[in-house]
Structure 1
Amino acid sequence: MQIGYARVSTNEQDLTLQIAALKKHGCERIFTDKISGSKLQRPGLNEALNFARKGDCIVIWKLDRLGRTMKGLIDLVEELNKKEIDICSLTDHIDTKGVTGKFFFHIMAAFAEMERELTRERTIAGLEAARKAGKKGGRPKSMTTKKLKAAKKLLSSGMTAKDVSQTLEVSLSTLYRYCPASDL
């Protein structure tokens, strides 16, 4: 039996492309997840693994849908080999039924891990360069200097903290962080 597994990392992403490819390949059952590949507990993958029986093939759209590290992928393949369940990756053209497919699986897993590490290194280097250039990451502060002055003026005039937070469009906890009761 061909068992499909599709995964995207966030709820904003769409599974349509992967599911269509799995159906076209002939998957009779498809399991899905909307969760990061780095998470160990993926309910859809666990269901697919529990559903699969000896002689079945778990079909994925791309190798990185199964996991993010070479060790994780190899461990999964070894577990499936013990159960005599194969893996087929559609876009990577890998089928672990044969020796060549197993060999290519290990090579592709190494490249997938290397690509992830290179992306991580580039991201860290980019953040470091931005810091050196004086740029600050993260969300902008909701309590600006102008809003802080207005908040203090409104609070000293007797307006309630709740009304001030609504007027300035900041949360009550943000208002309290910048204007503690002890300062008024």
Structure 2
Amino acid sequence: MDAVMKRNFENLHSENKEEQYEAYQNIIEAIEQEVDWAYVVWDDLVKKLEHKNNHERSRAAQFLCGLAAKSDTDKRILNDFGAVWEVTYDEKFVTARHTLQSIWKIGLGGEQQREVVKEFFANRFKECTNEKNYTLIRFDIIQGLRYLYDETKDNEIKELALRLIDTEEDEKYKKKYAKIWKGIA
């Protein structure tokens, strides 16, 4: 890891909120490509998934999702997926939602990872109706499947999304979810 990237990770804990945000943005941008430092930070990020500070949990989950997409050649995410997924149930809904909105990226890491993401998304979509804000959770799942489809062109993803949408009983939300797939379905 070069000095600039090391500094970005340090600046996540800066007193200056602008420095924190800039560091966060720089890391997010960096992990859009393959990086050679993924495993330098991996274990620390996994530990931070249970940090007392929700910002730490959120960033750790988002960074792991991004690293799993392009830089996880050892497929470590398959062992750590459960810990990342747990953050989608975080007590702070914004933390849970940021994680849920990022988790689709794990599916870019390979076929095994894609299958795990599809399975967990499908189960959550079916089981989340007793959760607060379940319509937002369902929206994020359908949107995540769309992003994953756009990147992979895997028709099984499209078919899964359309089946899930079809199970929605409320016409208002069924239309809202279907709109995400407009032009594809």
TM-score, normalised on structure 2? Answer: 0.31
Question: Which structure is higher in strand share?
Answer: 1
Larger Rg: 1
Structure with the bigger percentage of helix: 2
Q: What's the TM-score once normalised by structure 1's chain length?
A: 0.31
